[in-house]
Structure 1
Amino acid sequence: MGYEFIKNLKYLTSCFLDLIYNSGEECIACGEYANSKSLLCERCNSSIKLCNKSFEITIHGHSMSCYSSFYYSGLGKELIGRLKYKSDFRAGDALVEYMLYTIKFNDVKFDTVTYVPCSKATMKKRGYNQSQYLAKKIGHNTNTKVLTLLKKIKHTKDQIGLSGEERWENLQGAFLAINENEIKNKKILLVDDVITTGATAFYCSRLMMEKGAVSVCILTGAKSSI
């Protein structure tokens, strides 16, 4: 109850601030003038190294279709850090702009949106799940239902700083599929902030495929070392 209240309070505060400050006039990264249709100015937008192409990961016979909007560096990396660790939801909204463009550019098809869950301990500490925030914004903008289809049942170390092998071991048995009737026969878009080794995406998508999903497509703001 506590962390849900904090999460909602932070979200409402962000919305309130957006009403007070016209984010279309000032770039959220550098403070310079920004086009009214974007949260970033032209210079900051051009500094982000775009990806916007599909790639497939095949692990243990399980193939995943993935899309990432940009590479995990520079301002893109900063925006993700601001959303994830500093409760900067306007940075999250900037990420959503890129992710929506990726969906449109690649004509990604799905009928349900879900997200990578975090543990109760992380929710209690941070007050929100950044991947859920991104998913809700994407669902709203694509008029698609956003559902909680996964649960994290094991608190794990932060993946940052872990080797590739350690990342896989860290997430082994960490997730559980829930609301299975909402998974079966669905084309699901799985949203996360960053994809690095693909371990998180693999375990989450495999669970939903095992429960009868027609397909699971991964969409992240950034692509790291994969």
Structure 2
Amino acid sequence: MGARLFQKIGYIFQSIASIVYNKGEVCLLCENPEEKELICDVCKSQIKILKLKYDVEQQGIKFPCCSLGIYSFNLKKLVLMLKYENEFMAGKILASYLSSYIKEDLEENIDLITFVPSSKASYRKRGFNQCEVLCQYVSEECGIPYRSLMRKKSEGRDQIGLDTNKRWENVKDSFMMINKEEVFNRKILLIDDVVTSGATSFYGAKCLKDGGASEVYILTVAKSRV
């Protein structure tokens, strides 16, 4: 419990530091002068929001999914800045696009927002879960409550470098429900950062559905070309 609390305190400190030291004087992406917003108009124009809609499916079970765009260029750069450089303002930018999609294009009324849990090893290494960061920002902007509803019950291998079949096998049955009473008969939006094979998002959604959710929808920042 003490270690977990220490990690949370570190995450809060990093979040505050990210806000304090990014004063909007330079663009987050190109570092050219930018007084009004976090990124300049040129960099913003290079973020291609395509709203890619598709299903993630396995063995006849499928869940509707939307990815804002392809995992490339500035969209990819923002994800990597959040994930590996602790740049929480990059997460705030990404969350603003996710929130716009929810407000403008998601036809369903969502009861709860949740996120794909990270492994204990990843959480220890970063001190935070990038999907939870996105979830928090989206919850604030959309006024929809968010909850932690799953945890990863097995570490497994890192998905990076695995082929499609191994990705599906690696993540199968790796999630378990927590706070199950929050899930029953509710429409839940599951947020992930990047979809590659779709295995992680699928099994996360399946865990929620098996736990009693009436519907589960998946929303991700990007879809990998791989």
- In structure 1, the partner of 2:61 is 62
Deviation track 1:164-205 (CA, whole Å, cap 9, x = no partner) reads 011111112211112211111110010111111110111111
The 5 Å alignment of 1:1-226 reads: 1-23=2-24, 25-34=25-34, 36=36, 38-108=37-107, 109-225=109-225
Q: What's the secondary structure of 1:220's corresponding residue?
A: strand
Structure 1 length normalisation: TM-score? 0.91
Confirm or deny: 8 A CA contact 1:197 1:225 kept in the other structure: no
How many Å separate the matches in 2 of 1:70 and 1:42?
18
Report SS of the residue matched to 1:162.
Answer: coil
Deviations 1:136-159 (A, max 9, x none): 111111111111111101112221
Judged with a 3 Å threshold, the aligned counterparts in structure 2 of structure 1 residues 13 and 84 are, in CA distance, closer, same or farther, namely: closer
Measured on the aligned residues, the alpha-carbon RMSD in Å equals 1.8
Taking the aligned partners of 2:190 and 2:30, their CA distance within structure 1 comes to: 31
What are the Cα deviations for residues 30-74 of structure 1, in whole angstroms up to 9, with x where unaligned? 1124473x4221111111222224222332121211111121011
Contact map agreement 1:3 1:123 (CA 8 A) in 2: no
TM-score by length of 2: 0.91
> Matches of 1:130 and 1:90 in 2, distance apart?
12
Alignment identity in percent?
Answer: 36
67-76 vs 101-110, which moves further: 101-110
Q: Contact conserved, 1:2 with 1:124, CA < 8 A, in 2?
A: no
Letter in 2 for 1:52: K
Partners of 1:17 and 1:187 lie apart in 2 by 33
CA pair 21-118 structure 1, distance change in 2 beyond 3 A: closer
One-letter amino acid of the structure 2 residue matched with residue 130 of structure 1: Q
Q: Against the structure 1 CA distance between its residues 69 and 11, is the aligned structure 2 distance closer, same or farther, given a 3 Å change threshold? A: farther
CA contact (8 A) 1:114 1:147 kept: yes
2:3 and 2:128 mapped to 1: Cα distance? 11
Within 1, Cα distance between the matches of 2:120 and 2:202? 21
Whether the aligned pair in 1 keeps the contact of 2:119 and 2:154 (CA below 8 Å) is: yes
Query: In the TM superposition, what is the alpha-carbon distance from 1:21 to its structure 2 partner?
Result: 3.8
Moved over 4 A (4+): none
Query: How many residues are treated as equivalent by the alignment?
Result: 224
Report the Cα distance in structure 2 between the residues aligned to 1:140 and 1:169, rounded to whole angstroms: 35
Give 3-state SS (helix, strand or coil) of 1:209's partner.
Answer: helix
> Do 1:28 and 1:39's aligned partners in 2 also have CA atoms closer than 8 Å?
yes
| Pair 1:209–1:35, CA change in 2 (3 A) | farther
Unmatched tracts of structure 1, length 5 or more: none
Pairwise CA distance, 1:87: 1.2
- Compared CA separation, residues 153 and 101, structure 1 to 2 (3 A): same
Change (3 A) 1:7 1:76: farther
